[in-house]
Amino acid sequence: MELLNTLVDKGLRREPPTREEALAVLATADDDLLDVVAAAGKVRRAWFGRRVKLNYLVNLKSGLCPEDCSYCSQRLGSQTGILKYTWLKPEEAAAAAGAGVAGGAKRVCLVASGRGPTDRDVERVSRTIQAIKEQHEDVEVCACLGLLSDGQATRLRDAGADAYNHNLNTSEATYGDITTTHTYADRVTTVRQAQAAGMSACSGLIAGMGETDEDLVDVVFSLRELDPDSVPVNFLIPIEGTPLAEKWHLTPQRCLRILAMVRFVCPDVEVRLAGGREIHLRSLQPLALHLANSIFLGDYLTTEGQAGKDDLAMIADAGFEVEGTDTTTLPAHRADALAAAGAGCGAHGEAAGGCGSAGGGCAPCGDAATSETSATSETPATSDTAPVTSAAVPAEAPPAATPAAGARTDLVAVRRRGAGTDLPPNA
């Protein structure tokens, strides 16, 4: 069959696959995995070349969260033993950010636990952003502070924030099984507030929480409709002491198929390889660079990541290069839309070109998923259109709700960064 050739052609035209095609990617056999990676890699290289953007997390406030997100070590009533502390001072956060910038990070992500910031918190984070920008003029700053209230996105943008992160995490249908203290709609609203304020939106997912293939496709198509500029793909770290501690559903092969599906659905978006990559991809991490054009450098919020020097060596050994601050990450049509609209790339105006939108506007995911109309929008500067080998697609995907045979449940004696020390994560 011509599935992969079709998906490459659509990706180069910024045309969405159908839901059936996206599901077929997740259902491909391990024997066909390299063909899937090669196909999605053509789309990745067409829009982003061989560049890898580095991002660095600074945890401004750890634990003490009133929300009950089942995957999170900082959740209400957490017994995970993570280090808990209130707000870092602006100079402390700036020093922590400097470590990431020194390692090559182009974006610093400022994260704080909690339902959402108070106005006083926004002022505090604004001073932190200004402190970082004073020392590192060219660095991008992304804030991740939870649900925003009216006017807060604009204040963050005025303080110098370039982007705002708020992940959808999972499908709308299953969201209530993961979190009960806020809704999926709350998250969508916050992403749209960030876009309306002129910030670049960052929103992604967590795979491995027991979701089905249909759930994964649902959330990725919802992200396409929402149209963030960057989509972080996290793989659940089953931390002891959380309700999802026993959820071991991922293998390296499944992680690669998920990344490939995201790339096909959102071809011209910054796809970020995020939390859990070291645990679940393991020695196949370099293959993931053919799918994602962005990674986190070093540690995460409450768990340790791969050593930064090992990340840099992996990128070089795989034949990729670290993206410099003098390079625009996004393809020209997205970067120009972000600069011109003043309302975030893919803001939902009638004339705005969405993530891979065919012809103009961000179609609802149901419409986009069934569109067979050829796209008339800008094509990538580098057309890598050589045919790819078709992969045989099984009639049915394996159940996602049972632990995969190759899943390793012995890997997370979870290293809780800072636990038992005076050092906050990434400080």
DSSP secondary structure letter of residue 130: H
- Catalytic pick among 202, 255, 355, 362: 202
- Catalytic pick among 187, 254, 263, 272: 272
266 is catalytic: no
- Catalytic pick among 14, 19, 72, 224: 72
65 is catalytic: yes
For 208-354, list the strands marked E by DSSP.
Answer: 230-235, 270-273, 294-296, 321-322
DSSP secondary structure letter of residue 322: E
CA–CA distance, 296 with 105 (Å, rounded to integer)? 8
For CA atoms 293, 145, 132, 302, the dihedral sign is negative
3-state SS, residue 125? helix
3-state SS, residue 213? helix
Residue type, 229: D
CA–CA distance, 206 with 227 (Å, rounded to integer)? 17
Give, for 93, the enclosing helix (H) or strand (E).
helix 90-102
- Catalytic pick among 14, 19, 75, 109: 109
362 is catalytic: no
DSSP secondary structure letter of residue 31: G
Cα 277 to its chain centre, rounded Å, is 12
- Catalytic pick among 69, 255, 266, 362: 69
> What tokens appear for 342 in the block?
């003043």
Which residues partner with 59 through β-bridges? 111
126 in Cβ contact with 112 (< 8 Å): no
109 is catalytic: yes
142 is catalytic: yes
- Catalytic pick among 13, 44, 142, 362: 142
355 is catalytic: no
Burial class (CB in 10 A: 0-12, 13-18, 19+), 372: exposed
Cα atoms in the Cβ-side hemisphere of radius 13 Å centred on 345: 31
- Catalytic pick among 13, 19, 65, 187: 65
69 is catalytic: yes
The catalytic residue positions are 65, 69, 72, 109, 142, 202, 272
